[in-house]
């Protein structure tokens, strides 16, 4: 193990045994499959009908969270459109390993929510923490501070009982839907159960499309893309990012980073399962192949990154990352075995004999990945996949985190190419 890679144990281990790697991969693949999801939904609906219950959506509101401040605006629209009861819970910010960068997350959530709010016809968050929490305290001031504390405690307890950790979350019959971005999944599910009172009209919060039209850049813009080799969200968007750059003529600069658990950022089992299931749901909706998983954490990631500088020299850096992600998240190839890495190298169009000489022999890639991580943090980001859009002078125009922001990256590229204007961070 290299000196920049942090070894962890438990759910965040970066050195699982062969048996644990195999078992975890099989379990995660099964629970995130469409068959498993549909089976669980069918059982949940049968149970609801047997008990004679109405459709009930539970919403968890964190007052000092930018995402919550826009998500809560959707509640009247959902209540008007769907035959559901909505129960609101007040919660506090998640702490510990479920939120390893709480200050960064709070600041980013406010900025990001402000960017996406207009596209959903919502007002941007007006209060940053701690002002938003102060407003909430004032709202319950008449009933005393104890009333607010009791509601927060009850909301946190209910969220934990149901198996989550974040604010701005919607829960319906065994499934979680994160903020405005995932409401369209909930809407489609409710519609399939006959709860949509206006099925002939567009969704309340439709998934934004990646639209570029016929615009093409002349080398003025640069799109920096920060992927990771163990990120489910990276796996479902990597090829689409490459294609977006090709279609628009924007210069693409790929800046890979180490997986979070390999740089000392823990991930709980609950969070890891939610991420993988959510990525599978997003992939299915986008028509992207995904789900046959074989965990590449640890040595496979190091082996691939040790080949990356050479692959870049051959003009196949993106092909190598794409092949590795496909092997790990689509084909279920065990990249911890030599034959698995050979398949990756072959798919990337590289020479296996040369790869054998280079694989694991050179640690120069570590400095490159560490520099990428620093740039990521300087942009106010820390997770993957992330994007930075730069103008012709190399100045940042846009910095975004998440595969579900590709549509916003595309729209900003289109706008800048069309009218040459910039927006401020």
CB 360 within 8 A of CB 303: yes
Neighbour count for residue 127 (Cβ, 10 Å): 16
Q: What is the pLDDT of residue 285?
A: 96
- Which residue intervals of 142-203 are DSSP H helices? 145-162, 183-192
Q: Look at residue 140 in the predicted model and tell me its pLDDT.
A: 61
**pLDDT at position 218:** 84
pLDDT for the residue numbered 103: 84
Strand partners, 389: 223, 398
Query: Given this model, what pLDDT does residue 142 score?
Result: 47
DSSP string, 81-136: HBS-EEEEEE-PPP-GGG-SSHHHHHHHHHHHHHHHGGGGT-PPP---TTHHHHHH
CB 84 within 8 A of CB 195: yes
Give the per-residue pLDDT at 423: 45
Q: Tell me which architecture the domain covering 41-192 has in CATH.
A: 3-Layer(aba) Sandwich (3.40)
pLDDT for the residue 6: 57
- Report domain extents, the chain: 41-192, 211-419
In this prediction, residue 3 carries a pLDDT of 54
Exposed e or buried b for every residue in 204-225, given b needs 16+ CB within 10 A?
bbebbebeeeebebeeebbbbb
Q: Considering only the top CATH level, what class is 211-419?
A: alpha beta
> Model-level pTM greater than 0.95?
no
As a whole number of angstroms, the distance between CA 369 and CA 2 comes to 13
Query: How many angstroms separate the CA atoms of 302 and 169, rounded?
Result: 35
Give me the residue label for tokens 């790990």: 328
The Cα–Cα gap between 385 and 111 comes to 17
41-192 and 211-419 share one CATH topology?
Answer: yes
pLDDT in single tens digits along all 425 residues of the chain: 455 655 545 555 678 999 999 999 999 999 999 999 999 999 999 999 999 999 999 999 999 999 999 999 999 999 999 999 999 999 999 877 777 778 888 999 999 999 999 999 999 998 666 666 666 655 564 445 678 899 999 999 999 999 999 999 999 999 999 999 999 999 999 999 999 999 999 999 999 999 988 888 988 999 999 999 999 999 999 999 999 999 999 999 999 999 998 988 878 889 999 999 999 999 999 999 999 999 999 999 999 999 999 999 999 999 999 999 999 999 999 999 999 999 999 999 999 999 999 998 878 899 999 999 999 999 999 899 999 999 999 999 999 999 999 999 999 999 999 876 544 44
CA 371, CA 374: separation in Å to the nearest integer?
A: 5
């Amino acid at each position: 193990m290299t000196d920049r890679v942090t070894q962890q144990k438990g759910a965040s281990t970066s050195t699982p045994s062969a048996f644990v790697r195999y078992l975890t991969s099989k379990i995660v693949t099964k629970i995130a499959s469409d068959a498993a999801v549909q089976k669980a939904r069918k059982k949940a609906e049968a149970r609801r009908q047997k008990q004679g219950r109405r459709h009930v959506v539970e919403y968890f509101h964190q007052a000092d969270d930018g995402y919550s401040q826009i998500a809560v605006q959707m509640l009247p629209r959902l209540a008007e459109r769907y035959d559901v009861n909505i129960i609101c819970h007040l919660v506090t910010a998640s702490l510990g390993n479920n939120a390893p960068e709480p200050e960064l997350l709070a600041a980013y959530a406010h900025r990001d929510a402000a960017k996406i709010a207009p596209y959903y016809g919502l007002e941007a968050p007006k209060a940053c923490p701690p002002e938003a929490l102060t407003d909430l305290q004032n709202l319950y001031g008449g009933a005393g501070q104890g009333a607010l504390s009791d509601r927060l405690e009850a909301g946190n307890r209910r969220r934990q009982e149901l198996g989550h950790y974040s604010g701005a979350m919607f829960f319906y019959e065994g499934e979680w839907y994160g903020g405005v971005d995932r409401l369209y999944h909930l809407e489609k599910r409710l519609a399939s159960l006959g709860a949509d009172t206006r099925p002939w009209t567009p969704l309340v919060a439709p998934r934004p499309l990646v639209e570029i039209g016929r615009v093409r850049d002349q080398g003025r813009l640069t799109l920096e893309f920060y992927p990771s080799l163990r990120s489910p969200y990276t796996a479902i968007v990597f090829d689409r990012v490459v294609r977006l750059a090709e279609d628009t003529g924007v210069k693409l600069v790929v800046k890979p980073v180490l997986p979070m658990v390999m740089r000392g950022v823990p991930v709980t089992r609950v969070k890891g399962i939610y991420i993988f299931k959510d990525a599978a749901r997003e992939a299915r909706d986008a028509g992207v192949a995904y789900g046959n998983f074989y965990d590449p954490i640890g040595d496979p990631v190091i082996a691939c990154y040790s080949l990356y500088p050479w692959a870049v020299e051959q003009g196949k850096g993106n092909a190598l990352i794409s092949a590795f992600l496909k092997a790990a998240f689509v084909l279920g190839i065990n990249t911890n075995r030599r034959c698995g890495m050979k398949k990756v190298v072959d798919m990337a169009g590289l020479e296996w004999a040369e790869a054998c000489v280079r694989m694991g022999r050179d640690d120069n890639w570590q400095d490159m990945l560490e520099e990428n991580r620093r740039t990521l943090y300087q942009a106010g980001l820390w997770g993957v996949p992330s994007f930075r859009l730069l103008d012709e002078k190399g100045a940042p125009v846009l910095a975004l985190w998440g595969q579900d922001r590709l549509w916003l990256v595309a729209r900003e590229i289109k706008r800048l190419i069309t009218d040459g204007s910039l927006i401020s961070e």
